[in-house]
Structure 1
Amino acid sequence: MRITIIGGSQGTGAQLASLAQAAGHEVTVLSRSGTAPEGVRNVTGNATDPDAAARAVAGADAVVVTVGGAKGVHHQRDAVTRTVIGAMRAEGVRRLVVQSSLGAGDSASQLPGPLGLITRIVLAKALADHDAQEFAVSSSGLDWTILRPTGLTGKEPSGTWQILETTDNGKLKGSIPRADLAACMLGLLTDDSTVGKALGVSS
């Protein structure tokens, strides 16, 4: 599979790029820094630039968006995602997986105890960006999946995780290692049962 990762120079995106490349996939990373894991095709550019986004997604079978916010930039995640969606439509690429955050939309109810309320208060600006991002994704007409992780850690991966929709019973835990999130994302790319769904994920 040819996979393009938007924001794959560090964090979860970089771990996903390494995992996908090791699994035999052809991986392209678009980042402002111009850095990418060894063996991965690198496209340097701002993902809000339509030309850079088009270069990155051209020829891809699937696209993953893992970008964070940018200091001083309003709704960076939303802006990047909308640009990438436009590039995907133009290039005829349909499969899209987007990293959002638990707390976006109606997903705060999946967090245990008072964490849902605390998350909505402490991360209000970031979650507003994710809400706008998720709306762009869900109205894109693409084959999309939104993944909402709990707090990300640098702990060693366990190789297991829990996935819930907001209509499922149960609560998610408060964190997940980035390496487990990356492995979860890689699996979702070929799981057609998750198309059109927003999924919470934790350890």
Structure 2
Amino acid sequence: MERWVLTSNLLGEEDTMKVTIIGGSRGTGAYVGAAALKAGDEVTVLSRSGNVPGDVRSVVGSATDPAVVREAIAGADAVVVTVGGAKGVKRQRAAATRTVIAAMKDAGVRRLIVQSSLGAGDSASQLPAPLNLITPIMLAKALADHNEQEAAAENSDVDWTIVRPAGLTDKPATGQVKALLVGQDGTLDGSIPRADLAQFILAAVTDESTFGQAIGVSGR
């Protein structure tokens, strides 16, 4: 199956969500926030900069600070982790994800989406040749961080989904996303617009068929 089919909505079609984005001031997180706002959802963004739109609830601080994370996820229906690496910090993504999961357990928040990367875990086989050979070498440090991040999600008892995008671009959305589980036939293309990735993440939030799955995604 090359196109992921969203099968189950946990909320009614007209219900809105309270979504917290960890690392949402730029990159994929900013696109997820914009898509959620457009859908009428309530959005909270945790970031170091606080550089978010005025209609977003902003929590400023570190994603590895338990008190700050607890404030950010209070009352959330879902949490989306889109943090990147931090200069001088070893495995920032993994540390932030562990902090988020602990805070979610304390707050009784169940739904978690983690943005990882194609090439992490067992997904190198989904990359087209020769990227499937060189990506694990070129991105070894980042992928080690993502592997630890993914393990934190997989070993938790929350309702997690890991999304592994190909190379990210800021090109306009196409509305076309190719999504595969490891072991499904085919490979993924080399890139995906962040706007398309954001829509995929937001749609997956309420889809029970994505629970406990690590999904590779790219443009078509």
Give the shorter-chain TM-score range: over 0.9
Following superposition of structure 1 onto structure 2, how do residues 45-84 of structure 1 map, counting pairs within 5 Å?
45-84=61-100
Matches of 2:85 and 2:131, distance apart in 1: 22
Query: Does the 8 A contact of 1:29 with 1:56 survive in 2?
Result: yes
Q: Which residue of structure 2 aligns with residue 135 of structure 1?
A: 151
Q: Which residue of structure 2 aligns with residue 165 of structure 1?
A: 181
* TM superposition shift of 1:18: 1.0
Residue of structure 2 aligned with 1:176, choices 192, 196, 215:
192
Matches of 2:194 and 2:52, distance apart in 1: 17
Matches of 1:95 and 1:182, distance apart in 2: 16
Following superposition of structure 1 onto structure 2, how do residues 1-203 of structure 1 map, counting pairs within 5 Å?
1-203=17-219
The one-letter amino acid of 2:46's match is: L
The gaps in structure 2 that reach 5 residues or longer are: 1-16
RMSD over aligned CA atoms reads 0.6
**Cα deviations across residues 1-59 of structure 1 (Å, max 9, x unaligned)?**
10000000001101110110111100000001111123111000101000000000010
Matches of 2:183 and 2:129, distance apart in 1: 18
Matches of 1:11 and 1:68, distance apart in 2: 9
The one-letter amino acid of 1:146's match is: I
* TM superposition shift of 1:116: 1.0
SS of equivalent to 1:14: helix
**TM, length-normalised to structure 1:** 0.99
How many residues align? The count is 203
TM superposition outliers: structure 1 runs of 4+ over 6 Å: none
The one-letter amino acid of 2:164's match is: R
Give the share of equivalent positions with the same residue, in percent.
64
Matches of 2:55 and 2:150, distance apart in 1: 31
Query: Does the 8 A contact of 1:101 with 1:150 survive in 2?
Result: yes
Q: Which residue of structure 1 aligns with residue 3 of structure 2?
A: none
